[in-house]
C-alpha cells in the first residue's frame, strides 16, 4: 500500500511540475504577453480587450518592436508612418517626434487606430480588423459593393485572401488569449 501511495505521489508531483513548466516557461514563449503594461494601459484607455491587442500584435509583428513590413508598416502593431502621423495628431502626440519602433508609442497609436476603426465600422469586429489590415478605404469600397456586402454594414466577402486570413487568425488568437489567460 505504501509503495502504491509513493508511486501515486510521484506521479502527481511529476504532473504538477510538467504543468508548472508548461505554464510558466512554454506558454509565455508560445503565447507571449510582452509589453503588458502598455497593452493594459492603452487597451483600457481605448476600451479594447487586452486579448484583442495581444492577438493583433502577435499576428502583425510576433512581438518584434523593430519589425518593418514590405508595405512600410512599423513596430509591434505594424502602423504605417502616414497612419501614425495622422493618429498622433488625433490623440495629441507630437507627430514630428513620432517613433513607431517605440513599444509604448506604437501600442498607443495602434490601439487608438483599432478603436477608431471599430467605431467607424459600427463595432463589427471582422470589418474593423479587415480595415486594419487592408485599409479603411478598401473596406469602405467593399461595403458599398452589393456583391461583398448585402447591407452595406457587414462584410459578406473579403476579396483579399491575405486580409480574410488575417481576420480569421486575429479572431482565433483573441479567443485563445482570452481562454488561456482568462481575460
- Which are the catalytic amino acids? 60
Q: 52, 58 in Cβ contact below 8 A?
A: no
The per-residue pLDDT of the chain, averaged, comes to 92
How far is residue 111's CA from residue 42's CA, in Å, rounded to a whole number?
6
Q: How many Cβ atoms are within 10 Å of 28's Cβ, its own excluded?
A: 11
Categorize the per-residue pLDDT at 13 as very low, low, confident or very high, splitting at 50, 70 and 90: low
The pLDDT tens digits for 112-154 are 999 999 999 998 999 999 999 999 999 999 999 999 999 999 9
pTM reported for the whole predicted model: 0.88
Amino acid at each position: 500500500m505504501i509503495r502504491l501511495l509513493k508511486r501515486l505521489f510521484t506521479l502527481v508531483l511529476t504532473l504538477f511540475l510538467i504543468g508548472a513548466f508548461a505554464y510558466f516557461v512554454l506558454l509565455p514563449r508560445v503565447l507571449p504577453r510582452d509589453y503588458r503594461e502598455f497593452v493594459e494601459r492603452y487597451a483600457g484607455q481605448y476600451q479594447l480587450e487586452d486579448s484583442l491587442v495581444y492577438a493583433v500584435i502577435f499576428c502583425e509583428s510576433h512581438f518584434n518592436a523593430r519589425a518593418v513590413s514590405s508595405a512600410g508598416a512599423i513596430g509591434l502593431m505594424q502602423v504605417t508612418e502616414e497612419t501614425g502621423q495622422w493618429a498622433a495628431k488625433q490623440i495629441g502626440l507630437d507627430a514630428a517626434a513620432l517613433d513607431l519602433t517605440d513599444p509604448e508609442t506604437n501600442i498607443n497609436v495602434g490601439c487608438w487606430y483599432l478603436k477608431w476603426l471599430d467605431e467607424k465600422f459600427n463595432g463589427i469586429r471582422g470589418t474593423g480588423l479587415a480595415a486594419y489590415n487592408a485599409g479603411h478605404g478598401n473596406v469602405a469600397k467593399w461595403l458599398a459593393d452589393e456583391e461583398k456586402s448585402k447591407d452595406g454594414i457587414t462584410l459578406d466577402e473579403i476579396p483579399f485572401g491575405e486580409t480574410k486570413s488575417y481576420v480569421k487568425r486575429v479572431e482565433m488568437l483573441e479567443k485563445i488569449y482570452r481562454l488561456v489567460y482568462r481575460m
